[in-house]
Amino acid sequence: MPIEDVENIGRYRPEGYHPIVIGDRLHDRYDIVHKLGFGSYSTTWLARDIERKKYVAIKISISEVNLHESKILKSLSRPDPNVKGQLGNALVISILDKFRPDGPNGKHKCFVTEPGMMSLAETKYASYTRLFQLPVARAIMAQVIQAIVFLHHRGIVHADLHTGNIVLRLLESIDSLSPEQLYEQYGRPNLEPIVRLDNQALPIGVPSQGAVPIWLGKASEQVTLSEAKIFLTDFGESFQPSTTRRHYSNTPAILVPPEVYFLPQEPVSFPADIWTLTCTLWDIVGQRPLFEGLNPSQDWMIKEHVDTLGKLPPPDWWRVWDARQIWFTEGVKRTSERSRRSLADRFINSVQEPRQEHMVESIAEDEKACLLTQSKAMLEFRPHERPTAAEIMESEWMVNWALPELAKQD
């Protein structure tokens, strides 16, 4: 039987997950104290580094999987002699150690990183308001832009940017806690016994208990400016356009840029990140996502783009979009204006009204105008017409609102 909030136990098999039990010591150095999470290809654990006396995250892949992510992170960790300082490097999760344990299910690749407190998606999900305080939102948005500038300068497209892949850093004060003190503050591991339905003994490669991941976070409105320090994670979809031609997007459907639909023969590149960056920034400052849809089709998303931006795609794109007649007349008018929501409408619905309703600081008109202008530019249909990440870094909103807020963290 499946166990709620625990990985698929059936994947503990040869060439599958590596069995871990709370209390295990890995690599003669890392004591497993809790679970942080899991995915289809790995489990991630909170461990105490007995040499450095710090907590770390250990990601353990399924047996013999080629961790593309580790290669990307390794390339990012190399210093760039052409850049003074490595500001963006601190905003990308870095590998602290690597090792390959043998286990009953095979050989596994492990890499050790800084542990995160929670993703932005998780902290919003834990909140009733689903909002960050405005100074916190500005500081987080500034760091996300800086991180994308760094990635693009190093020739890498993240290709899966969203709030689930942006993590708030764990406060350094946690390192002063012993495992027992950690349990007192955050709770002991919730362990569920694993049993076979036929009551036979478990295979050697299956752990005796499943561990529910620990919750180290807090609701979004409770995050303070000093806590609003982030790093990007999950580089499993990332690639270098100089060496890899990518013609698809595996981001959530509401974030897929339009060139994926209309230019299937053209490789995806840095402008795709700019489109998803816009959506991600919106999600950080607002309560609802910019584009919406429940398991949306490609046609629904194109309709969302047209409605939001208030303009049609380029003529050569428009002509090949057969589904346009569902929502538009041949005279290129909306068949029903009642359901159309422009970018300005969505800003009111997603950002301003929820902030006013929950008595969270809203955005003044001058800042709103700059944000909308920046968003429109980043959402140009044709990818080459969008600003680069470096240009966004120098935008009026970034210079006058985001960076000054970020500077207050120091």
Binding residues for ATP: 59
Residue numbering of the annotated binding site:
59
Beta sheet of 54-61, edge-to-edge order: 25-26, 30-38, 42-49, 54-61, 110-113, 95-99
Do 165 and 235 meet the contact criterion of CB atoms below 8 Å apart?
A: no
- How many CA atoms within 13 Å lie on the side-chain side of 52? 14
58 vs 77: CA distance, rounded Å: 18
Do 191 and 210 meet the contact criterion of CB atoms below 8 Å apart?
A: yes
3-state SS, 250-267, equals CCCHHHCCCHHHHCCCCC
One-letter amino acid at 5 equals: D
Angle ∠(351,118,398) on CA atoms, nearest 5: 45
Do 225 and 136 meet the contact criterion of CB atoms below 8 Å apart?
A: yes
- 79: exposed, middle or buried (Cβ count in 10 Å: 0-12, 13-18, 19+): exposed
- Name the CA radius of gyration of the chain, rounded: 23
According to DSSP, the β-strands at 25-26 and 166-169 are unpaired
Residue reference for tokens 């996300």:
144
Do 20 and 36 meet the contact criterion of CB atoms below 8 Å apart?
A: no
